[in-house]
Chains A and B, each alone.
Chain A
């Protein structure tokens, strides 16, 4: 198993596929979901919460021939 230090020693890039909280874009919908999840994990019983998002296409139409699955293979968005 590999530990990923995702933000400490890397210059920030606007579209780097990291989980860097400094560049986390939060919409009202995301805020609402975050609050529900936090509440569920704080006081919910059972303490298991599930969050799903849309399935990413294997290859966007504009990038046929590239290898976007690198992101998934590295466990990073």
Chain B
């Protein structure tokens, strides 16, 4: 199940209370840099009383600095692992376009090589931006009755 923000600590507790006992629960919190400090600080005690619970925080780099600042302020925030994903490079952007188009529509995508280069540069290799740019480009091409 995917649910939208805003999420409060009471919301999280309510949903955890409804989970089946004896089953492991994994909670993924996206855009976690936007979570309140109170909620982030409350995760550690929550994990102690709920040994069946696993939490994955996903967000922008601000999330790391927010967690570090809370920890330096004395909060007990213990992580087992911290991972970072880099933007896609130019080859990655090409692969992303190829894969998404081939998977959904089949065949080769309609973007010319020069257009792919511009998409890679304008998006900074961030898939969210690639989606946005390509979606707008396709809509524009549809309106104009053109491709490429």
Residues of A in contact with B (beta carbons under 8 Å apart): 1-4, 6, 12-17, 19, 22-23, 25, 27, 29-30, 33, 36-37, 39-42, 44-57, 60-63, 66, 68, 71-72, 74-75, 77
Contacts and interface: CB of A to CB of B under 8 A. Distances in A.
Given A27-B88, A60-B122, A15 B80 contact: no
Given A47-B47, A66-B136, A74-B4, A23 B100 contact: yes
Nearest to B65: A52
Contacts of A22: 103
B80 A23 contact: no
B77 to A, nearest CB: 8
A51 B122 contact: no
B130 interface: yes
Give chain B's interface residue range (CB within 8 Å of chain A). 35 or more
19 contacts: A4-B2, A14-B103, A23-B104, A25-B96, A25-B100, A46-B79, A48-B44, A48-B56, A50-B57, A51-B83, A52-B58, A54-B125, A55-B60, A56-B128, A60-B123, A66-B132, A66-B136, A68-B128, A74-B4
Contact of A15 (B55, B85, B135): B135
Interface of B: 1-7, 11, 26, 30-32, 43-44, 47, 53-64, 67, 77-88, 92, 95-96, 99-101, 103-105, 109, 118, 122-136, 138
A49 B81 contact: yes
Contact of A29 (B7, B47, B85, B118): B85
A25 B99 contact: yes
B2 A14 contact: no
Given A2-B4, A29-B85, A52 B60 contact: yes
A61 B125 CA distance: 13
A15 B129 CA distance: 10
Contacts of A37: 56, 81, 83
Contacts of A62: 118, 122, 133
